[in-house]
Structure 1
Amino acid sequence: MESFIVETVNAIWWIIVVGIIAVGYHVYGRAVAEQWRSRRSLKKQGVKGPPPSLFNGNVSEMQRIQSEAKQYSGDNIISHDYSSSLFPYFECWRKQYGRIYTYSTGLKQHLYINHPEMVKELSQTNTLNLGRITHVTKRLTPILGDGIITANGPHWAHQRRIVAHEFTHDKIKGMVGLMLESAMPMLSKWEAMVNRGSEMGCDIRVDEDLKEVSADVIARACFGSSFSKGKEIFSMIRDLTIAITRRNVLFRFNGFTDMVFGSKKKHGDVNIDELEKELESSIWETVKEREKECVEYHKKDLMQLILEGAMSCCDGILWDKSAYRRFVVDNCKSIYFAGHDSTAVSVSWCLMLLALNPIWQIRIRDEILSSCKNGIPDAESIPNLKTVTMVIQETMRLYPPAPTVGREALTDIRLGSLVVPKGVCVWTINSTLHRDPEIWGPDANEFKPERFSEGISKACKYPQSYIPFGLGPRICLGKNFAMMEIKVLLSLIVSKFSFTLSPTYQHSPTQKMLVEPKHGVVIRVVRQ
């Protein structure tokens, strides 16, 4: 009798296992079939691409091309054309198949477009059926939640109506003062380092200091608190970012194990689930503290205004406590991340390029002295800083904050003469588009801010090809905020310091979620 029970249990167990495997392969098989149908549809419309394997598409070829590119990379050569090292497979396929082609990463079919007219179509398409790429946003949920950056459809449109209202130019002008306050401790620290240094100058790694300043600006703008109060939150966001981006988030393999077992929740010593819960608790506690302060002192900051907008613009959505908290936490995550790392990285690249081109430091310094009272920029003088603006625009051309723009067709959608099947991911590689000689001329890989002397519309052959903040309806809402902060920081630094690149600087752009200096930016600052 006992053996019969054991045999029965084993039989049931194997039935369950076989059933799970069968269901998994059935679902996986349907996903593969859908992906191949999408590829056939694009092929019929004349879109070619590298032939994929059955189970992992073109992933093996991508890995091979990436490995070969690393073998032939030079030693610390300062070249602004980093696409061939970060995305060598795209460069290889573009030469082979042109500006529009298709490729596969297992269960996902992708459409690469770097044709100016197609980019224009993508920019002008105003529909909720073209959204963020779901398998990417799912991976980034611990960092960004389901906030304005990652949401799709009506949920995204609802959040945009609320958040966009608080990023108007007039409101951002009122934040210049807090940007100046946040920068002053860093400037004092650098001045002390220079004074202690020798006549040959003092080496300063600027990227980490700039991240602290940028974090302080966001903390003050959102909660009226200083960086010291939000330091724990930013530390957790950094830990999560490092853990999640250890593998390529954008172009990783999307296969059977991901579908059945999901993505890893632990990377090294970091438990992503636990850290995510801790992050959300810290954000919520900070929000509640700030709400009490706003009531008590009758002061409103950016996040308080967003919360009020959320409550007064429900669009028929019934807000319960959990939904309200989810909205608040997710959008805090988005604002913290987007306004923190991207701005600091952009200023770091600006300083690197100015260190290589000291003549532009002199031009900026002269402009600030003639335009700004006491050499300090304010809300009224910043719009007159044309040289500063040109330098920033050229930096963002060569080193755009986000190297890619990705969209997913949430239903069949038309882009120009091309019908993109549902589920296909559409990619534009900013860094390639921004350095295309046919668009920007033979000097496309050179730092020449003067190309923007008459504005973006005259800087290149196709102005729609300049997309450092993304494109279309989902263009970065924080664009004006970021530009204002970058102008303030760059003006302050260049007005106070002269600098060159340190001999210890290692030029190695690396892609995580942004294109960052892998070994930081080290400049040699000298006394003026």
Structure 2
Amino acid sequence: MIKEYYTSAIIISCIALILTCAWKLLNWAWLKPKKLEKKLRQQGLNGNSYKVFYGDLKETFKMRDEARQKPIPFTNNDYITRVLPFLHQQVAKYGQNCFTWSGPVPVINITQPELIREVFSRMNEFPKVKKNPLARLLVPGLVRLEGEKWAMHRKLINPAFHMEKLKLMLPAFHTSVTELIGKWENSMSETGSIELDVWPDITNLTADVISRAAFGSSFEEGRRIFELLKEQTQMTVRLFQSIYIPGWKYVPTKNNRQMKKINEDIQGLLIGIINKRKKAMDGGEAAKNDLLGILMESNFKETRSHGNKRLAMSFREMIDECKLFYFAGQETTSVLLVWTMILLSKHQDWQMKAREEILSAFGKNLLPDVDGVNHLKSVTMILYEVLRLYPPVLSISRRINDQDTMLGNLCVPESGMVSLSIYQVHHDPKLWGDDVNEFKPDRFSEGILNATKENLSFFPFNGGPRICIGQNFALVEAKIALAMLLQRFSFELSPSYTHAPTTSLILYPQYGAHLIVHRL
């Protein structure tokens, strides 16, 4: 009797568990998305009907893969049909404020500067999107944190990016660019020219700079970290092409094991760098004037002044921030520099104007300094226009938590997302004029505020309190590198150059940047 009772209880419990899981799955995969879709349509928003599990993901990536097969003419800088073909199709069909589906989650496309400013300023109500946990391994640290933890990390990291600290990293910038200049000069023929794909060299240059400036090492010493980051990036991109099923990260698939193995290898290399530095500092050696040294000193001072380690970073958190230095510090500047070289190769008048300004300030032999490059008006205008036309990231996503949230006159339903379309805002003729897709740096001749008429129509580095902490580093590095290269070389597009902007996590030239480089 007792045995039959326990058997019945177990069977009933199993049935109840199965029914509960089935109900949760049904709600997650169908009932809730259809409820959210109804809320959006009642407000006048339009988009495709929800498709179970995948939403619009399959069509999005299918169209993107098809677009990647064909380069585009380099007549202007309108490339949305190549990098965001599905969004382009949806906007043409439903209007700017349409919605799409990222799996079972609706994503509202936001293009009005006033609403974008509101999202940035209300960062606690519009937090970062929680994507696949394995994807978060690629970009940990400050960009993933929220609330008090984010505020604490931001406070500790801020000193490393003050302009006075960046001046101390100037030798690292000079050394890295000088090595690249020597490489190109040694490869040139007797005519003083060479045709090459500059994209790999620019990638290595920015990797070398971040290695020296962040950790006092060279690219050769940090090469393994960058190789692992590249592999991890490729795997992360593949993860974004599918929906994440809760708990899937614990399943020991080949991909999951490889992602975790790569992360452990990167952490091991960074642990070695940090331990070596910590041992030197414990032995009385002064903190070095690189990002790691400044961060460790800032962290140490916070612990000492408050006597509470809770207010400082843990060892694991410091590793995460170092990894973020490596990834974000290299990627952003490399794409900014390569698109700048491509556009200056096409627009020789602006290349000549920039070179004249640089030679007037530094001559051919004087190494550029931080104060000097920050006063190069034409160079600054050129970089802003490149960031407008070819922003490193094409959109920024934010999520809603557990309740409907008003954004202007729009009610964003709980569990939904908003996508702030950098590309569409930067290429909006209503905001920038009919020449929006043309390369015209003089639109920034009186600064960003005047160019944007003081609205938020230019935000390549995010915006609001969470604006990219490393934007000064990226711009100073780009200015110094560009100044030193234009002191010694001129560039023109090679006949083999193929215009094919594409994006994985950043916007880059799919077939490289084939230029003809001439020694001056």
TM-score by length of 2: 0.88
Q: Deviations over 1:471-520 (max 9, x none)?
A: 22211110111000000011111121011111222221111110111121
Does residue 298 in structure 1 map to residue 293 in structure 2? no
| Counterpart residue number, 1:307 | 296
User: In structure 2, how many angstroms separate the alpha carbons of the residues matched to 1:335 and 1:151?
Assistant: 15
Answer yes or no: is 1:335 the counterpart of 2:325: yes
**What letter corresponds to residue 474 of structure 2 in structure 1?**
A
SS in 1 for 2:246: helix
Tell me if structure 2 keeps the 8 A contact 1:166–1:305: yes
Matched-pair contact (CA < 8 Å) for 2:67–2:82:
yes
Q: SS of the counterpart of 2:419?
A: strand
1:165 aligned residue: 159
Native 8 Å contact 1:243 1:267 kept in 2: no
1:75-94 superposed matches below 5 A: 77=74, 79-94=76-91
Aligned to 2:275: 288
Kindly state the Cα deviation for residue 284 of structure 1 after the two structures are TM-superposed: 0.7
Conservation of the 8 A alpha-carbon contact between 1:215 and 1:340? yes
Distance in 2, Cα, partners of 1:38 & 1:154: 31
Distance 2:488 2:310 in 1: 50
CA drift at 1:24: 4.2
Q: Does 1:254 align with 2:243?
A: yes
Residue 324 (str. 1) matches residue 314 (str. 2): yes
- 2:68 and 2:502 in contact (8 A); partners too: no
Aligned to 1:228: 220
Alpha-carbon deviation of 1:159? 1.3
One-letter amino acid matched to 1:88: P
Shift of 1:465: 0.9
- State the partner residue of 1:53: 51
Distance 1:346 1:306, change over 3 A: same
Alignment match, 1:441 = 433
SS in 2 for 1:406: strand
Counterpart residue number, 2:341: 351
* SS in structure 2 at match of 1:377: coil
Which deviates more from structure 2 when the two are superposed, residues 51-60 or residues 380-389? Answer: 51-60
Identity of aligned residues (%): 29
Q: Secondary structure at the match of 1:381?
A: helix
Paired with 2:253 and 2:230, the residues of 1 have a C-alpha distance of: 15
Q: How does 1:323-472 map to 2 (within 5 A)?
A: 324-372=314-362, 374-412=365-403, 413-460=405-452, 463-472=455-464
Contact 2:210 2:329 in 1 (8 A): yes
Give the CA deviation at 1:379: 2.0
Q: How far 1:437 sits from its partner (Å)?
A: 1.2
Give the TM-score of the pair, scaled to structure 1.
0.87
Q: How does 1:2-21 map to 2 (within 5 A)?
A: none
Note the alpha carbon deviations across 1:241-294, whole angstroms, 9 max, x for none.
Answer: 1222235x2xx3426xx2353498767798211111111111111111122234
Unpaired stretches in structure 2, ≥5 consecutive residues: 1-7
Structure 1 pair 222–260 and aligned structure 2 pair: CA distance change class (3 A): closer
1:28 partnered with 2:25: yes
Q: Which amino acid aligns with 2:170?
A: V
Contact 2:358 2:487 in 1 (8 A): yes
Alignment of 1:35-184 (within 5 A): 35-63=33-61, 65-66=63-64, 69=67, 73=70, 77=74, 79-125=76-122, 127-135=123-131, 138-145=133-140, 147-184=141-178
Deviations 1:365-419 (A, max 9, x none): 1101111254431122112100100110111111101111111123443322223
| Distance in structure 2 (CA, Å) of the matches to 1:204 and 1:13 | 70
Cα distance in 1, alignment partners of residues 460 and 399 from structure 2: 19
Maintained 8 Å contact 1:345/1:516: yes
Tell me, what secondary structure is at the counterpart of 1:390?
A: helix
Aligned-partner Cα distance in 2 for 1:186–1:16:
68
Aligned mates of 1:265, 1:495 — CA distance in 2: 53
| Partner in structure 2 of residue 483 of structure 1 | 475
SS in 1 for 2:456: helix
Q: 1:12 to 1:221 in 2, by over 3 A?
A: farther
Corresponding residue for residue 492 of structure 2: 500
Inter-partner Cα distance in structure 2 for 1:198 and 1:238: 36
Deviation at 1:161, TM superposition (A): 1.8
Q: Is the 8 A contact 2:34 2:50 kept in 1?
A: no
1:88/1:305 CA distance change after superposition, 3 Å: same
Answer yes or no: is the 8 Å Cα contact 2:37–2:50 preserved in 1.
no
Q: What is the rounded CA distance, in whole Å, between the counterparts of 2:13 and 2:339 in structure 1?
A: 56
Distance 1:164 1:21, change over 3 A: farther
Work out whether residues 36 and 106 of structure 2, in 8 Å CA contact, stay in contact via their aligned partners in 1.
yes
Task: Tell me, in whole angstroms, the C-alpha distance in 1 between the residues paired with 2:323 and 2:362.
Answer: 35
- 1:16-63 Cα offsets, whole Å, 9 max, x none, are 998876554333223243333333333333333222224432334435
Q: Distance in 1 between matches of 2:212 and 2:192?
A: 37
- SS for the counterpart of 1:144 is coil
Q: Structure 1 residues 179, 363: CA separation in 2 closer, same or farther (over 3 Å shift)? A: same
Distance change >3 Å, CA 365–CA 60, structure 1 → 2? closer
Gaps of at least 5 residues in structure 1 are: 1-10
SS, match of residue 516 in structure 2:
strand
Q: Are the equivalent residues in 2 in contact too, given 1:398–1:435 (CA < 8 A)? A: yes
1:513 aligns with one of 500, 505, 508: 505
Secondary structure of the 2:144 match is coil
Deviation at 1:200, TM superposition (A): 8.1
Check 1:293–1:312 CA distance in 2 against 1; reply closer, same or farther (3 A cut): closer
- Alignment CA distance shift 1:164-1:278 (3 Å): same
Distance change in 2, residues 1:105/1:253 (3 Å): farther
The separation in 2 between residues aligned to 1:317 and 1:54, in whole angstroms, is 49
8 Å contact kept, 2:489–2:519: yes
Which moves more between the two structures, 495-504 or 43-52? 43-52
How far has the Cα of 1:336 moved from its partner? 0.8
1:175 and 1:465 map into 2 onto residues whose CA distance is 32
What CA RMSD, in Å, does the superposition of the two structures yield over aligned residues? 3.0
Instruction: Find the counterpart in structure 2 of residue 7 from structure 1.
Output: none
Cα distance in 1 for partners of 2:455, 2:331 equals: 26
Which amino acid in 2 is paired with 1:159? H
1:391–1:226 Cα change, 3 Å: same
Per-residue CA distance 1:333-371 (angstroms, 9 max, x = gap):
111101011111110110011111111111111101111
Distance in 2 separating the partners of 1:54 and 1:245: 22
* SS across alignment from 1:203: strand
Distance 1:75 1:369, change over 3 A: closer
Change (3 A) 1:154 1:200: same
Distance in 2 between residues matched to 1:330 and 1:64, nearest whole Å? 34
